[in-house]
A and B are shown apart, each in its own frame.
Chain A
Amino acid sequence: MVSPVLLIAVPLGLAFLIPLVGMASRRATGLMPILACLFNLVAVVLILPAALSDAIVVRIGGFAPPFGINLYAGPLGVLFAGLIALAGLAVSIYALGYIRRGSIRRYHLLYLLLLVGANGVVLTGDVFNLFVFFEILCISSYALVGYFGDRGGLEAASKYLVQGAVGSGLLLLGIGILYGMFGTLNMADLAARIGSSGGMSVFVPLALIVSGLGVEAAIFPLNAWLPDAHSSAPSPISAILSGIAIEVGLYAVARMVMTVFGAESMMAFLMFLGAATVLAGEMCAFAQRDVKRMLAYSSIGQVGLVLFALSVFSPGSVAGGLFQLLSHTLGKGLLFLAAGYMIYRSGSRRISSLNGMASRMPITSLVFAVGALSLIGLPPFAGFASKLMIVGSVLARGGTMLTLLLGAVLVGTLIEGAYLFGVVQAIYFRKTPAGAEGGRAPVSAVVPMLLLAALIVVVGVWPGPVAEALRAAASDLMDRTAYMGGVLP
């Protein structure tokens, strides 16, 4: 039995090893994230069966909650950790070949810290701890966005930093108020106490926390940093930001609103917000000429879809939302990775520069198409299963308002279909411009891309087990009493 603590501790330890390893070999530092992710992957596989049947609560230092800090490795947390490890693994392999400039050691260190932060957020059972891990995640991502030090990157990073800092400030303020009111930082304990009170005094911290976390979760209209940051970052970082960082933010929002505050009355509002986010993201992406910006805006849309599904708040829809989150991580990660090398080879981020890429980079183009079709939600790819689950559960919930909102969301996916197909067509069918350069992507890029593409197809063809696991995760998120009962003796 592996302790869930190791999911955070091992990557953190390896992160600290990086400077030491770096003294021996600069290249070897790149192996550290891979090692960490592999370890986490194995650990998750070992932990998952137990976590699915019964959440594992780890008491740090042996103090029982609510006095000590605890980790809560429920189905949701462990699955998330697995997803982080998986996406992290793909991206870190990719980075081996892609990141050649700048201080490579620093890159890998920051990258590992980012993963540590993400793992921490999804596993912790303590609000302040959540804030700390969240900061680790955010700060390392600020730095990574500006990693290449070019003008666009630095500008995006500083904008991201400003907005992120405002968000963190609001979050901290909210946590502070909560602590002042209830004298506890433990999530389960907070949940138990909030259940007995209500009104404005509870709402203000909730509003602060939602606004604060909403920035990282890219909820409209708090998401203005995202298009700049995701498009200017180095492609592997774009992939991890789109695939992991905003999802973790969304996880935090959902955990706080659903489990800690149990604010079911807010769900209708979040639903609207989700639908608005979908439309805003997809419409902005529609007119984009820059492929990475397009993908970044599309991430906003996808996050909106997840938020929408989560806030419908039925077991099926929450599971569907989580499934969508999974397929978005795989699909968008894949798209960013594929686009990364296409941009690298063609030297421009304009979509028109990708014309006829399929003849120059066949495998990269193929996986790009797989990712795009999956995001649009076409069979036999993962996105189809998640779309099916969301639409099905929303309709099962019923109601005119909900059906209309679903219609709006589906219009969003239609727009997404239009622009993503436009790119796929450009890659496959448009004539290669004269004098276009481009060679195949290196093995270090092809392997993770094929890995992700294979996963998309496998999940798309056999979504059953994934859906089952996610149903357990959904109940983890929705069932407050079980959560409290699991943590508090």
Chain B
Amino acid sequence: MTLEMVLLAGFGGALLTWLLGKVSARLRNGLAVLLALGMFVAVCLMHGQSFQRLLPLGFMGLRLSVRMNMLSWLFAVLILGTGLLSVIFSLRYMRGRSRLDYYYFTLLLINAAMLGTVVAGDLLTFFICWELVSWSTVLLISLKGTGRAISAGLKYMVMALAGSLAMLVAILSLHARFDTLTIPRLAELLGAAPLGYVLFVTVLMSAGFLVINALWPFHGWLPDAHAEAFSPFSSVLSGVLVRKGLYGLYLLVYVLLGTGLLQRLAWGALSYLNVMAWIGAITVVFAAFRALVQDDSKRILAWSTVGQGGYMVLASSLATELGVAGGVFHFLNYCLLSALLFFVAGAVEHRTGGTRDLNALGGLMRRMPVAFTGAMAGVMGVIGVPLTNGFVSKWIIYKSLLSEGRPFLAFAAFLGTWGTILYGYKFLHNIFLGRLPDRFAEVRRVPFTMALPILVLTALVLVFGVLPGIPLSAVSAAGVSMGFGSLGLSVWGITTDTGTLNVVNLLAAIVAGVFAVWALWRGLGRSVRVDQDDSYAAGMAVPRQRYNFTADFYGPLRRIIGPWAGDAADALLVGLARRTALVSDAFRKLYTGYVGSYVLYILLFLAALIFVQITWSPWL
């Protein structure tokens, strides 16, 4: 199957799903799963292909085109994979809700359009697909229909639109100057363009990409949108949708500009890459602290998405093969992890009657073992505990930061990780650990179609953590397609000229250690299983229902960082929007409603015209 057919099937199939839904819900669901699966498999099979070709389709005199290389392939596979799992997860999660035809249609449309974004061979195709994703996303964010969901959608739309307008100006200006939008051709031509112009284009396009990738200070839309969307879609949103901004950055920075031009985009210490790296670093730390003070399961994950995006940009801005590999690999890993964690949060939400409040949950480990396993793997991965996939990418990121001699950036990255440990544990503890409240005593297990995506992702997290060479070979190839050298890889790890990582050693050591301790404990110790309420209360009589600690989990820390962790950047943007509304309202007063003043305007206009002409005679 060619790429063109996959795209056609994607867009056409979405519409077909919608129509089929009018006939039968069962058929619709089946088609949705088949379509997502088919696209995923078809694109998987394109591994290693590299081409650029025109589509039999034009737009305003420009031929649209597609391209495929390992970078596109990696993004495409992750997009379609997450899409597939999300559709499967939706089967149960969305059952019984209204407007499902619409839901599946939009989900599949976004899937196809995102694929189009990353396989676009020219910037027009890229932009069209980009905008398709933008507006269809808002329709899915707001679908829940609550007030917050609607304002989250609107916020997203306005910010995305602002970003894409900036991008549109940049793209069309490229077209005006070079008369082509084909990516390889532009890459050749841009090298000879004046630096000021390159900077203009770069800044505008980066703005668009930063908004979607939700980097500080343009992150404001993301926490609301991720928290308010339906959980299966949150997975897509957080795992791959925001990362089309990352793809855009790669496309701009390494494919279009290339390292040669990048070196010229620097004025002393103030270089484009430095600015991006620091934006990434600020995002990492800021998001980590914001995540700490959240009390909503999905909001924590949303802020985590912001922060991990910071890591990707931070590492990718180093412009070394190791740094870019770290960025791409972290994207791959976090795509799996965030999808997994949002599925878990969704499963919990599904079984507990929509509870997302971290102060109301607890102890669900006993009732939802699958979800708990997923949460463990996910949280450990996001933290980067050894033997999970997140460890390897974070190791690469730190390593590249240190070997490039950027200790302050590395400090931000380390600090962000510590924030991750805190909020990760809070997520895990407040949902799954601690005392199981009585009202959740009969909560049922996760249904099969929801457990399947969780288990698949958990397995991937662990497999990629132990055998990082498998995903890293694709990551390395993606780096090669961006013009970097390939990495020194083995199945077990990565070798650089200044240090190696060998996961098999870690695996062996940890397995041996665990086995030894376990043997000691099993061999010598004896224990009996007791009920959760059979615990030591230090002589105090505490009501059973209240014998739990979740509220304000990091209270003292919150009190210290609270004043500093305000969202000033977002407040500024929101304030700007409010101010615009006020000014608009004042402006409206110009239309007084009194016809005399209207006639006066007309005459004044005429008088002004003639006055200007008499005084300065600028016209004719």
Please list the residues of chain A having a beta carbon within 8 angstroms of any beta carbon in chain B.
Answer: 158-159, 162-163, 166-167, 170, 198-200, 202-204, 206-208, 210-211, 214-215, 221-222, 224-225, 227-228, 261, 263, 265-266, 269, 280, 283-284, 286-287, 373, 376, 378-380, 384-385, 387-389, 391-393, 395-396, 398, 403, 406-407, 410, 413-415, 417-418, 421-422, 425-426, 428-431, 463-464, 467
Q: How far is the CA of A406 from the CA of B200 in the complex (A)?
A: 15
Q: Is B157's CB within 8 Å of the partner chain A?
A: yes
Q: Which residue of B59, B158, B168, B577 has the most chain A CB atoms within 10 A of its CB atom?
A: B59
Across the interface, do A166 and B165 meet the contact criterion of CB distance under 8 Å? no
A72 to chain B, nearest CB (A): 24
Interface code B132-162, partner A: CB below 8 Å = 1, 0 otherwise? Answer: 1011001100111100011001100110011
What's the interface size class on B, roughly?
Answer: 35 or more
Main DSSP-derived SS at the A contact region: helix
Name the one of A163, A208, A380 contacting B599, with C-beta atoms under 8 angstroms.
A163
Q: How far is the CA of A38 from the CA of B373 in the complex (A)?
A: 68
B536 to chain A, nearest CB (A): 49
Across the interface, do B138 and A421 meet the contact criterion of CB distance under 8 Å? yes
Q: What chain B residues lie within 8 Å of A266 (beta carbons)? A: 619-620
Across the interface, do A163 and B602 meet the contact criterion of CB distance under 8 Å? yes
Name the one of B59, B139, B169, B581 contacting A428, with C-beta atoms under 8 angstroms.
B139
Q: Is B520's CB within 8 Å of the partner chain A?
A: no
Q: How far is the CA of A382 from the CA of B583 in the complex (A)?
A: 31
Across the interface, do B606 and A207 meet the contact criterion of CB distance under 8 Å? yes
Q: Is B521's CB within 8 Å of the partner chain A?
A: no
Q: Is B549's CB within 8 Å of the partner chain A?
A: no
Q: What chain B residues lie within 8 Å of A385 (beta carbons)? A: 59-60
Q: What chain B residues lie within 8 Å of A467 (beta carbons)? A: 60-61
Q: Is B172's CB within 8 Å of the partner chain A?
A: yes
Q: What chain B residues lie within 8 Å of A418 (beta carbons)? A: 154, 157-158, 161, 577
Across the interface, do B580 and A286 meet the contact criterion of CB distance under 8 Å? yes
Interface code B559-598, partner A: CB below 8 Å = 1, 0 otherwise? Answer: 0000000000000000001001101110110110101011
A378-B610 in contact given A287-B581, A417-B158 (Cβ < 8 Å): no
Q: What chain A residues lie within 8 Å of B518 (beta carbons)? A: none
A272 to chain B, nearest CB (A): 12
Q: What chain B residues lie within 8 Å of A167 (beta carbons)? A: 602
Across the interface, do A464 and B59 meet the contact criterion of CB distance under 8 Å? yes
Across the interface, do A283 and B584 meet the contact criterion of CB distance under 8 Å? yes
Across the interface, do A207 and B618 meet the contact criterion of CB distance under 8 Å? no
Across the interface, do B609 and A166 meet the contact criterion of CB distance under 8 Å? no
Q: How far is the CA of A228 from the CA of B591 in the complex (A)?
A: 10
Across the interface, do B610 and A265 meet the contact criterion of CB distance under 8 Å? no
A170-B60 in contact given A396-B176, A410-B165, A414-B162 (Cβ < 8 Å): no
Please list the 10 inter-chain residue pairs (A to B) with the smallest Cβ-Cβ separation, ordered nearest first: A396-B176, A283-B584, A224-B598, A392-B172, A211-B606, A207-B609, A395-B173, A286-B584, A429-B142, A287-B585
Across the interface, do A410 and B599 meet the contact criterion of CB distance under 8 Å? no
Across the interface, do A207 and B610 meet the contact criterion of CB distance under 8 Å? yes
Q: How far is the CA of A169 from the CA of B525 in the complex (A)?
A: 104
Q: What chain B residues lie within 8 Å of A166 (beta carbons)? A: 599, 602-603
Q: What chain A residues lie within 8 Å of B590 (beta carbons)? A: 221, 224, 280
Across the interface, do B606 and A283 meet the contact criterion of CB distance under 8 Å? no
Q: What chain B residues lie within 8 Å of A280 (beta carbons)? A: 587, 590
Q: What chain B residues lie within 8 Å of A463 (beta carbons)? A: 59-60
Q: What chain A residues lie within 8 Å of B587 (beta carbons)? A: 280, 283-284
Q: Is B613's CB within 8 Å of the partner chain A?
A: yes
Q: What chain B residues lie within 8 Å of A395 (beta carbons)? A: 169, 172-173, 175-176
Across the interface, do A203 and B175 meet the contact criterion of CB distance under 8 Å? no
Q: How far is the CA of A453 from the CA of B144 in the complex (A)?
A: 26
Across the interface, do B168 and A211 meet the contact criterion of CB distance under 8 Å? no
Using CB atoms, name the residue of chain A closest to B584.
A283
Given contacts A389-B60, A429-B149, 20 further A-B contacts (CB under 8 A): A163-B595, A166-B599, A167-B602, A170-B606, A199-B617, A206-B619, A222-B605, A224-B597, A266-B620, A280-B587, A284-B591, A395-B172, A395-B175, A410-B165, A415-B580, A421-B157, A425-B150, A425-B153, A429-B153, A463-B60
Name the one of B161, B584, B610 contacting A287, with C-beta atoms under 8 angstroms.
B584
Q: Is B354's CB within 8 Å of the partner chain A?
A: no
Name the one of A158, A224, A376 contacting B601, with C-beta atoms under 8 angstroms.
A224
A283 to chain B, nearest CB (A): 4
Across the interface, do B613 and A417 meet the contact criterion of CB distance under 8 Å? no
Q: How far is the CA of A414 from the CA of B605 in the complex (A)?
A: 28
Q: What chain B residues lie within 8 Å of A206 (beta carbons)? A: 619-620
Q: How far is the CA of A431 from the CA of B617 in the complex (A)?
A: 59
Across the interface, do B154 and A421 meet the contact criterion of CB distance under 8 Å? yes
Q: How far is the CA of A73 from the CA of B605 in the complex (A)?
A: 33
Q: How far is the CA of A206 from the CA of B597 in the complex (A)?
A: 23
Q: What chain A residues lie within 8 Å of B602 (beta carbons)? A: 163, 166-167, 170, 211, 215, 222
Between A and B, 30 residue pairs with Cβ closer than 8 Å are: A158-B595, A166-B603, A200-B614, A203-B613, A203-B620, A207-B606, A208-B606, A224-B597, A224-B601, A266-B620, A280-B587, A286-B581, A287-B584, A379-B132, A380-B132, A384-B128, A388-B168, A389-B60, A392-B175, A395-B175, A395-B176, A410-B165, A414-B161, A415-B580, A425-B138, A428-B142, A429-B144, A429-B149, A431-B145, A464-B59
Using CB atoms, name the residue of chain B closest to A222.
B602
Using CB atoms, name the residue of chain B closest to A261.
B620
Across the interface, do B145 and A417 meet the contact criterion of CB distance under 8 Å? no
Across the interface, do A378 and B131 meet the contact criterion of CB distance under 8 Å? yes
Q: What chain B residues lie within 8 Å of A228 (beta carbons)? A: 593
Q: Is B369's CB within 8 Å of the partner chain A?
A: no
Q: Is B58's CB within 8 Å of the partner chain A?
A: yes
Q: How far is the CA of A24 from the CA of B176 in the complex (A)?
A: 61
Q: How far is the CA of A205 from the CA of B121 in the complex (A)?
A: 53
Across the interface, do A203 and B584 meet the contact criterion of CB distance under 8 Å? no
Q: What chain B residues lie within 8 Å of A396 (beta carbons)? A: 176
Q: What chain A residues lie within 8 Å of B153 (beta carbons)? A: 421, 425, 429
B141 to chain A, nearest CB (A): 9
Across the interface, do A214 and B154 meet the contact criterion of CB distance under 8 Å? no
Interface code B317-333, partner A: CB below 8 Å = 1, 0 otherwise? Answer: 00000000000000000
Name the one of A398, A413, A414 contacting B176, with C-beta atoms under 8 angstroms.
A398
Q: How far is the CA of A376 from the CA of B77 in the complex (A)?
A: 32
Q: How far is the CA of A35 from the CA of B614 in the complex (A)?
A: 51
Q: How far is the CA of A437 from the CA of B583 in the complex (A)?
A: 35
Q: What chain A residues lie within 8 Å of B132 (beta carbons)? A: 378-380
Q: How far is the CA of A263 from the CA of B613 in the complex (A)?
A: 13
Find residues 247-275 in chain B having any chain A CB closer than 8 Å to their own CB.
none
Across the interface, do B588 and A284 meet the contact criterion of CB distance under 8 Å? yes
Q: What chain A residues lie within 8 Å of B165 (beta carbons)? A: 410, 413-414
Q: What chain A residues lie within 8 Å of B583 (beta carbons)? A: 283
Across the interface, do A464 and B588 meet the contact criterion of CB distance under 8 Å? no
Across the interface, do B581 and A225 meet the contact criterion of CB distance under 8 Å? no
Q: What chain B residues lie within 8 Å of A222 (beta carbons)? A: 601-602, 605
B345 to chain A, nearest CB (A): 22
Using CB atoms, name the residue of chain A closest to B612.
A269
Q: How far is the CA of A393 from the CA of B172 in the complex (A)?
A: 8
Q: What chain B residues lie within 8 Å of A284 (beta carbons)? A: 584, 587-588, 591
Using CB atoms, name the residue of chain B closest to A202.
B620
Q: How far is the CA of A417 from the CA of B153 in the complex (A)?
A: 12
Find residues 104-149 in chain B having any chain A CB closer than 8 Å to their own CB.
128, 131-132, 134-135, 138-139, 142-145, 149
Across the interface, do A380 and B601 meet the contact criterion of CB distance under 8 Å? no
Q: How far is the CA of A453 from the CA of B614 in the complex (A)?
A: 49
Q: How far is the CA of A284 from the CA of B589 in the complex (A)?
A: 9
Q: How far is the CA of A388 from the CA of B181 in the complex (A)?
A: 13
A165 to chain B, nearest CB (A): 9
Across the interface, do A388 and B172 meet the contact criterion of CB distance under 8 Å? yes
A134 to chain B, nearest CB (A): 16
Q: What chain A residues lie within 8 Å of B172 (beta carbons)? A: 388, 391-392, 395
Q: Which residue of A222, A388, A393 has the most chain B CB atoms within 10 A of its CB atom?
A: A388
A382 to chain B, nearest CB (A): 12
B204 to chain A, nearest CB (A): 10
Across the interface, do B606 and A379 meet the contact criterion of CB distance under 8 Å? no
Q: How far is the CA of A286 from the CA of B423 in the complex (A)?
A: 39
